[in-house]
Each structure stands twice: as structure tokens, then as C-alpha cells.
Amino acid sequence: MFIGDEPIHINAKKGSIAPLVLMPGDPLRAKYIADNFLENATNVANLRNMLGYTGFYKGVKVTIMASGMGMPSMGIYAWELFHYFNVEKIIRIGTCGAVKKEVKVPELILATKAYSESNFAYTFSDYKEHITYPSSSLNAKIMETAEELNYKIHVGDITTMDVFGPYIDYDRVLNRIPKELDILGEEMEAFALFHIASHFKKEASCILTAVDSKFSDVVLSGEERQNSLNEMITLALDSIIK
């Protein structure tokens, strides 16, 4: 298979993307982070409206690059970041549904494993297992930083689904997951990110904010939702520059 010298989906110039990347799913959240957390941020990618920004956080060059929704989209952007732009670390910052009663809305989750029924990894590289793993060293920095910031964060397993959880009876799916896994939340991208990072021997982690729960009918106001995401963003930024 021929792989060209230029990325197909990220129209950034070589050198414009930092080795340290935060990946929200939403392109407009990438813009929000650049506008509110980075200094001297510039738009470096905008093809298909998948926005990327590079600036400085506490004097360190950082890129915020959207991933879109779902594993195929995450797979494309993570692959191009690692392959074409020599990115070293990616932290996914996203939202999830809580599936354990102890995880309240809008608390944070740090993923230690991502379980999925998807064939993403098998298609990518004949990997037949249903679990992919984040970087243990990057996760350790995130836990250390959460303690320094006095942020509560749940640390445990998540599941990555091909279907948006609230649109299905996902208890049916959860009941198929091996009982030895302690699933805290469900989302749609981390399994792919961890697998792509492992392929390139790079570091990746995933921090999630629980925005809904099967055990609660709590609905966040716009301000509450933004404030909770700000904690996740701050934690990710402070961690990735260590």
C-alpha cells in the first residue's frame, strides 16, 4: 500500500503541530480551549472543519486537535498526528455516560483500559483482543496532577462503543462485558486512540467527564457543563506538559 508524503485529512504545515496534543471530539471545543487556555494560539488545521490550534500553555507549545466522533474518525486523526507530525503524546478529553453508581455527574474518569466489541484493531493490525491500554507513565502524571489540583477523579476501566449509548439499550451490551472488568463509563473513541498509539510506540491517555448517568436524571446547565469541562481541560494541560 502506498502512503503519500503528505497527510490527507490534516492540512497543517510541518512543524506547526506540537509534540504534545489534546484531542477533544468537538472542533468547536478545540477552538474554545485555544481561545481560553492557550497564549498566542493560531489555527493550524481546518480541513473538513476539523479544527486544530497550536499555542503555548505555561510556556510550553501544545496543540489542540479535534478528533471527530467514533473510532474511525479518531483512528484517522491520531494516525496522521503520529505518522506525519511526530506527535509524542495525546490526551483525549471527552464526555461519557457513567455506568457505575459511584461516578456522579459531572465527575472525571481516567481510563486504565478500554474494552470494545469493535473490529477496529483487528482490521487495523490483526489484533484480536478486546482491550487496549493507555500509557501507564502518562496516566501516573495525570493522577499526580489531579492530586495537586485537588480534583476528584475516578480511575478505572471504560468501554468504547460503535453506537451512541443513549440511543440503545446499552445494558444489553454491558452485560456481555467480562465481569472482571470494572466499567465506569462508556464513550466512542479511546479504544482506537490507545491502539494507534501502541502501534507507533507513543503515549496516549483518556480523561472523561461524565455528563449523564444511567443512575441519575441530573441534567447539567450550560454553565455547569462548561465548568466541569474546564476542570478536565486544566487537568489535561497541566499533565501533558510535565
The tens digit of pLDDT for each residue in 54-93 reads 999 999 999 999 999 999 999 999 999 999 999 999 999 9
Residue pair 194/118 in contact by the 8 Å Cβ criterion: no
Domain regions of the chain by residue span: 20-240
pLDDT band at 3 (very low <50, low <70, confident <90, very high): confident
Burial class, 233, CB count within 10 angstroms (exposed 0-12 / middle 13-18 / buried 19+)? buried
| pLDDT at residue 2, as a whole number | 59
Q: Taking the CA of residue 178 as centre, how many other CA atoms within 13 Å lie in the half-sphere pointing to its CB?
A: 11
Class of domain 20-240: alpha beta
Looking at residues 20-25, what average pLDDT do you find? 97
Candidate list 157, 212, 217, 238, residue with the active-site label: 212
Whether pLDDT at 129 is above 60? yes
The C-alpha atoms of residue 202 and residue 223 are separated, in whole angstroms, by 35
The C-alpha atoms of residue 124 and residue 68 are separated, in whole angstroms, by 19
Is residue 111 within a helix (H) or strand (E), and if so which, with residue range? strand 108-115
The b/e string for 106-133 (b: 16+ C-beta within 10 A; e otherwise) is: bbbbbbbbbbbebebbeeeeebeebbbb
> What is the maximum alpha-carbon separation in the chain?
50
Residue pair 194/124 in contact by the 8 Å Cβ criterion: no
Annotated catalytic residue 157: no
Q: Give, as one character, the DSSP assignment of residue 175.
A: T
Burial class, 58, CB count within 10 angstroms (exposed 0-12 / middle 13-18 / buried 19+)? exposed
Residues 6+ apart with CB under 8 A from 113: 131, 132, 133, 134, 157, 158, 181
- Please tell me whether residue 39 adopts helix, strand or coil conformation: strand
Q: Which candidate, 186, 234, 240, 226, places its Cα nearest to that of 26?
A: 226
| pLDDT at residue 228, as a whole number | 75
